[in-house]
Amino acid sequence: MARSTSTSATELGVTQTPESELPIWKTWPGNDRFYCDGRCMTGPSPMNLVGTCLIVIVPSILFNVLVTPDVADATHVVVLAVGISWPVWCLFNLLKTGTTEPGIVRRRPKPTPTFDGRVRPRYKSVAVPTTGLPRGNPGGCTAGTGGSGNSNSNNTDAEDGSGETQKQVTVKWNDTINQYQPPRAHHCSANDDCVDKFDHHCPWVGTTIGRRNYRAFIFFVFGTTLLCVYVAFVCGYQVKLSYDKLPSSNKSRALRAIAGAPAAMIILVLAFLGFWFVFVLSVFHTYLICTNQTTYENFRDGYSAAENPWNKGCFGNCFEVFCAPQQRSRFAFTKPAGQQPCDVDEARETEVELGKREKRRVERDERRRKEIGDGDLEMGETTSGTTGTSPNKNKTETESGTKKEKDSSRNKKEGKPSSSKAGGALKALATKTKTSVDEVTIQMDDDDPSDDGYEGDRDRTPKV
């Protein structure tokens, strides 16, 4: 029988690093691609990003080589400076969009089954704070339709005790990350990641657009729109320069001018076609920004701007997209799993849970305080009633004492023994039987081990 030639890593003297000590980009469960030892990350289609970069680079080079110099000589050198710097800025935002982690939600271990065997609900409602803007037309924006993806508003307003208005939204359980998705998050099937504030998966960039790369994406779309306008204007100006150089008596002067600047006409046509694509995209995302929606929310759900729990008004929505601090990534791809940053979702859930517990504690203390106050009030009323009837009681006791004195004097006259003499006879009888009243009481207490201080239902027969 032939001997197997395969050898294990241990036989070769190679020590395998435990998976828990490897950088997480080497064991990443999603479809994302990593380069430069995890320092660069792209989506599952990096060649799409390369193709889009070429679409920007090639026309820009032709434009700055064949068109811009003539126009700059006829006008100003600023035309050439803008023609070089503007495409570079657009290319920078494109690369930043495609290589930025979009806001992936961390995956958690599979939860243990519940003790009672109940199935975890697929959806649940959570409260999200709003800006406290009045209902109707917040921030002066026109009402539109939109949604919150997996965070559907239930039109329920509440206050958390601090005066801050809250709305209930619905979140969905995600079996991939083993937790409820954060509000506005959605699982992208292309990247196989749950992305916070999911907007859409862009095939031109090759990755998902989410919370952390949406700003760069918007800068790229708006910048490309303006670049197309600028390129078309400069190319048209070069055709005009060619037209002015021809004699006015020349027939078909316009056709000859176009023939004198062929590169400008080709680039002008490309810029015109590209403009309509990015222009429509810019208008649509301008509407989304002003109403604080995402593409996924707008296409899936629909509610007015007054019902949108994320709407902060036009100015507040624009500030959030363009000026608000960028959220840090939940991952350090070059470090192992044990050295990852704090889980912001878990910290947020813990903070919410602590807030709920504190709220319940305050409500419980308030309820107890109210009950104690009501008890003191009832006790005070009882004491007041007793005090009010004290004169009658004193009168009754006085009448009873007078009656006893009369009975005692009558018994003396008739020769009957008084109650005091009867008591003396009973005492003598107790002495004769060697048992005193105290001994009877002590013996009765000692024989009953279940004594708890209450003698209402106890057999009071003396035990001799």
Give the closest residue to 184 by CA, choosing from 126, 101, 224.
Answer: 126
Tokens 């590209």 belong to residue:
274
Q: How far apart are CA 315 and CA 306, in angstroms?
A: 15
Q: How far apart are CA 134 and CA 309, in angstroms?
A: 12
> 130, 163 in Cβ contact below 8 A?
no
Q: What is the torsional sign of CA 386, 388, 392, 393?
A: positive
Give the closest residue to 294 by CA, choosing from 102, 32, 90.
Answer: 102
Catalytic residue among 141, 202, 228, 314, which?
A: 202
Strand partners, 126: 169
Instruction: Tell me the chain's radius of gyration from C-alpha atoms.
Output: 44
DSSP 8-state secondary structure symbol assigned to residue 137: S
Look up 228 and say whether it is catalytic. no
Q: How far apart are CA 199 and CA 214, in angstroms?
A: 8
Residue 383: helix, strand or coil by DSSP? helix
Tokens encoding 161: 């005790």
Residues taking part in catalysis: 202
